[in-house]
């Protein structure tokens, strides 16, 4: 087997960690409480001075249902937790909607994931050692939602990037 070299190995490992550790949160047009807590992890292993940092945790803690209709927006409350003994700065946080599913968890033809969009976090946040902070993520629903999309669950996959504070 051919060696990729140290930099490429770190990049591949970081990509695998970021993709493999992402857990999906359910996003419903009426937003019920998620069945399982949503978590995703990110390690900035490709940057100098951050290889010793543990991944931070992302939890969707939105709580009660929020009724959404075509052309409206809502808010997801997201808790970021720092397991490290030093400050970290979360410089990027985003969520990508997945293919919506019905109550039986089947994909629905004619209902694309692009009907839902999540505005990425635009301001970096500092999280103290062993601390946590809550941020708000704005979710927007398209104006032209097909009838087939009513009462579907849109999975959200959160991801983020942090560095030493």
Chain mean position to CA 109: 24
Indicate if the pLDDT at residue 33 is higher than 90. no
- What value does the mean pLDDT take over residues 69-96? 92
- What value does the mean pLDDT take over residues 116-144? 93
Is-contact 111 97, C-beta < 8 A?
no
Please give the pLDDT value at position 29: 44
Instruction: Dump the DSSP string for 34-74.
Output: PSS----EE--TTSTT-TTPPPEEEEE---S-----TT-EE
Indicate if the pLDDT at residue 85 is higher than 90. yes
Give the pLDDT band of residue 135 (cuts 50, 70, 90).
very high
- What value does the mean pLDDT take over residues 62-90? 85
Give the pLDDT band of residue 148 (cuts 50, 70, 90).
confident
Indicate if the pLDDT at residue 27 is higher than 50. no
Give the pLDDT band of residue 92 (cuts 50, 70, 90).
very high
Q: Who's near 39: CB < 8 A, 6+ residues apart?
A: 23, 57, 58, 59, 158
In order of their start, the domains of the chain are 6-164 (2.60.40)
Q: Is the overall model pTM greater than 0.85, yes or no?
A: no
Give the pLDDT band of residue 133 (cuts 50, 70, 90).
very high
Indicate if the pLDDT at residue 50 is higher than 80. no
- What value does the mean pLDDT take over residues 42-56? 64
Work out the number of other CB atoms within 10 angstroms of the CB of residue 48: 7
């Amino acid at each position: 087997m051919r060696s990729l070299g140290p930099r490429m190995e770190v990049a591949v490992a970081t990509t695998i960690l970021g993709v493999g550790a992402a857990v999906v949160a359910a996003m419903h047009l009426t937003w019920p409480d998620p069945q399982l807590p949503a978590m995703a992890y990110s390690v900035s292993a490709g940057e100098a001075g951050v290889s010793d940092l543990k991944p931070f945790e992302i939890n969707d803690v939105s709580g009660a249902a929020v009724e959404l209709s075509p052309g409206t927006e809502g808010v997801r409350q997201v808790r970021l937790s720092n397991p490290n003994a030093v400050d970290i700065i979360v410089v990027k946080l985003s969520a990508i909607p997945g293919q919506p599913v019905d109550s039986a968890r089947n994909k629905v033809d004619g209902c694309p994931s692009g009907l839902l969009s999540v505005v990425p976090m635009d301001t970096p946040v500092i999280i103290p050692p062993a601390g946590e902070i809550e941020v708000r993520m704005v979710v927007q629903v398209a104006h032209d939602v097909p009838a087939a999309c009513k009462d579907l669950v849109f999975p959200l996959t959160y991801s983020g990037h942090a560095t030493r504070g």
